A and B are shown apart, each in its own frame.
Chain A
Amino acid sequence: MTQTLKAWFSDLPKAVRILIFGLGAVIILLIPRFLTSSYIMGIICRILLYITLAGSLNVINGYTGQFSIGHAGFFAVGCYTTAILSSNYAWDFWFTLPIAGILTAIIGLLVALPTFRMTGIYLSIVTLGFSEIIRLIALNWTGLTGGPLGIKGIPAPQFLGMNIRRAGDYYYIFLLFAVLFLLVTNRVLKSRIGRAWISIREDQQAAQSLGVELVKYKAMNFAYGAFWAGLAGAIYAPYINYVDSNTFTLDEGFNILSMAIIGGMGTLGGPVLGSFVVNILNELLRPVSAYRLVVYGLLIVVMMWIRPQGIIGASDSMLADDRTGADLLERLGLKKRRTA
Chain B
Amino acid sequence: MKVRVISLVLVLAMLLAACTTTGTTTQPTGNETITFGVLAPLTGTNAEYGKGFQVATQMAADEINAAGGVAGRQIKLIVMDSKGDPKESSDLARQLVENQEVMAIIGDFTSSASMADVPIIDEAKITLLSPTASNPDYAGMSDYAFSVMGRQSDEGPFFSTYILGKYMQAKKVGIIYINSDWGLSSFKAVTDQMKVDGIELVAEANYVAGETDFTSVITKVKAANPDTVLILDQGAVAQVVNQIRTSGWTDVRLATLGPGASQQLIDLTKENSEGLITSTPFFFNEDDAPAMAFKKTFTEKAGFEPTVHPVVAYDALYLLVEAIKKIEGPITREAIAKQLATTEYTGLAGPIKFQPAGDVSRKYVIGQVKDGKWVLAAGYDYSTTP
Give me the interface of A with B, judged by CB distance under 8 Å: 2, 5-6, 9-10, 17, 20-21, 24-25, 27-28, 31, 35, 37-44, 46-47, 136, 139-140, 142, 147-150, 152-153, 165-167, 179, 182-183, 186, 240-242, 244, 246-247, 251, 268-269, 272-273, 276, 280, 283-284, 286, 289-290, 292-293
B95:A39 contact, CB within 8 angstroms: yes
Closest Cβ–Cβ distance, residue A88 to chain B (whole Å) = 15
* Nearest CB on B from A314, distance (A): 12
A148/B21 in contact, CB under 8 A: no
Contact B5 A2 (CB under 8 A): yes
Give the contact stretch, choosing among B65-73, B79-87, B225-233, B252-260.
B79-87
Q: Pick 14 A–B contacts, CB within 8 A, sort by A.
A: A9-B8, A20-B8, A21-B4, A39-B91, A46-B87, A186-B3, A241-B115, A242-B112, A244-B112, A247-B112, A269-B5, A269-B6, A276-B13, A276-B17
Cα of A147 to Cα of B185 in the assembled complex, Å: 11
A39 in contact with B94 (CB, 8 Å): yes
Q: Tell whether, in the assembled complex, residue A292 and residue B43 are in contact, meaning their CB atoms are under 8 Å apart.
A: yes
Question: For residue A240, which residues in chain B have a CB less than 8 angstroms away from its CB?
Answer: 86-87, 90, 116
Residue of B nearest to A136 (CB): B208
A147 near B179: Cβ-Cβ < 8 Å: yes
Once bound together, how far apart are the Cα atoms of A289 and B16, in whole Å? 21
Contact A148 B11 (CB under 8 A): no
Set of chain A residues within 8 Å of B119, measured between Cβ atoms: 165, 241
In chain B, residues 1-30, which have Cβ atoms closer than 8 Å to a Cβ of chain A?
1-11, 13-14, 16-18, 20-22, 24-25
Given A39-B94, A293-B43, residue A247 in contact with residue B86 (CB < 8 A): yes
CB <8 Å contact, A21 and B21: no
Shortest A275–chain B CB gap in Å is: 9
Give complex CA distance A242, B120 in Å.
Answer: 12
The answer to whether A149 and B179 touch (CB under 8 A), given A31-B14, A186-B2, A241-B119, is no
B358 at the interface (CB under 8 A from A): no
In the complex, the 6 A-B pairs of residues with the closest C-beta atoms, listed nearest first: A289-B81, A39-B95, A39-B94, A242-B115, A42-B94, A276-B13
Q: For the complex, give the distance between the alpha carbons of A2 and B179 in Å.
A: 50
Q: Does B203 contact A (CB under 8 A)?
A: no
A258 to chain B, nearest CB (A): 14
Question: Whole-angstrom distance from the CB of A225 to the nearest CB of chain B?
Answer: 19
With contacts A44-B14, A242-B118, A290-B42 known, what are 9 further pairs, Cβ within 8 A? A37-B22, A39-B25, A47-B17, A142-B184, A149-B181, A149-B184, A244-B181, A246-B85, A286-B24
Contact B4 A9 (CB under 8 A): yes
Chain B residue nearest to A267 (CB atoms) is B2
Q: Contact: B184 with A40, CB < 8 Å?
A: no
B58 to chain A, nearest CB (A): 15
The answer to whether B80 and A290 have CB atoms under 8 Å apart is no
Question: Do B81 and A286 touch across chains, with their CB atoms under 8 A apart?
Answer: yes
Residue of B nearest to A272 (CB): B6
A148–B181 touching, CB < 8 Å: yes
Residues of B close to A280: CB separation below 8 A? 13, 16-17, 20-21
> Shortest Cβ distance from B219 into chain A, in angstroms?
20
A315 to B256, CA, bound (A): 58
